[in-house]
Structure 1
């Protein structure tokens, strides 16, 4: 009987931590044209911080791999996310743009697409994550 009470107590103590479960977001960056430079990833949690690099919820630079570059971002809680990626071909860890601000390096977004006059919104790119999640993002 004591063992059963101990087991029930242990399970009840773990319940609060289940609400903060940590997940892995796997991003498959498709159409990478070369292994030069890095793939930059920004993960955002709301429209007020979307595309503001200094306010990204999570971010990483990883070595580019021609074809498909796989990136695993562990320890993300359940929630709503939007992702922006770009191929930093010259390795300067910045998105290079022309004189009017149009990106000169390949980029992509979770779900949303680049518009004629600007990037998609957070709402157009967002997805719900309730466990490990894999997303494919082509860049161009």
Structure 2
């Protein structure tokens, strides 16, 4: 009986450690590196915004989780976001050639600067939906690539 009790206590201890291990991993803060490729020149900067849900994606700056603009020093250009919880995200980027932090467009509303989205969805007559650009952050380091498009 004592031997059975020891085995049971040992199993409980192992199960408790496993449960703690899984919960600790679920509470990590991950790092996302976005590699932006296809820049047509090194003028200006690249601005990237990360969204945690469909509300405001891709253009509402008030709904952005994190945003940063980075001077272009190389092509492809890496941009890193830190402290992301595990979950689903979407990223919108644009090549801000004139440094005004706005995706400029012509009289018809067609972007006059390069732009792109996570998951590189096909661009039609509208911006993609969150569900078309979504990706998963599920570990401490996530890397994605975005190919810029110019019209």
TM over 0.5: yes
The answer to which of 69-78 and 94-103 deviates more is 94-103
Per the TM alignment, residue 66 of structure 1 is displaced from its structure 2 partner at its CA by 4.4
- For the Cα contact (< 8 Å) 1:33–1:66, is it kept in 2? no
The CA distance in 2 between the partners of 1:31 and 1:65, in whole Å, is 13
Is 1:126 the equivalent of 2:134?
yes
Secondary structure in 2 aligned to 1:32? coil
Q: Identify the residue that residue 121 of structure 2 maps to in structure 1.
A: 113
Matches within 5 A, 1:1-140: 18-51=25-58, 52-131=60-139, 132-140=141-149
User: Which of 1 and 2 has greater Rg?
Assistant: 2
Displacement of 1:58 after TM fit? 1.1
Distance 2:123 2:40 in 1: 22
Partners of 2:24 and 2:124 in 1: CA distance? 44
The whole-number CA distance in structure 1 between the counterparts of 2:115 and 2:73 is: 15
Report the TM-score, using the length of structure 1 for normalisation. Answer: 0.83
Runs of 4+ in 1 over 2 A off after TM superposition: 11-20, 112-116
How many pairs are equivalent?
131
Per-residue Cα deviation, 1:80-113 (whole angstroms, up to 9, x for no partner): 0011100001111111011232211000111143
Once the two structures are superposed, what CA deviation does each residue of 1:38-66 show, in whole Å capped at 9, x if it has no partner? 11001011112211122111111011234
Gaps of 5+ in 1: 1-10
Q: Aligned-pair RMSD on alpha carbons?
A: 2.1
Structure 2: which 5+ residue stretches go unaligned?
Answer: 1-16
- Distance across 2 between alignment mates of 1:43 and 1:76: 10
Contact 2:55 2:63 in 1 (8 A): no
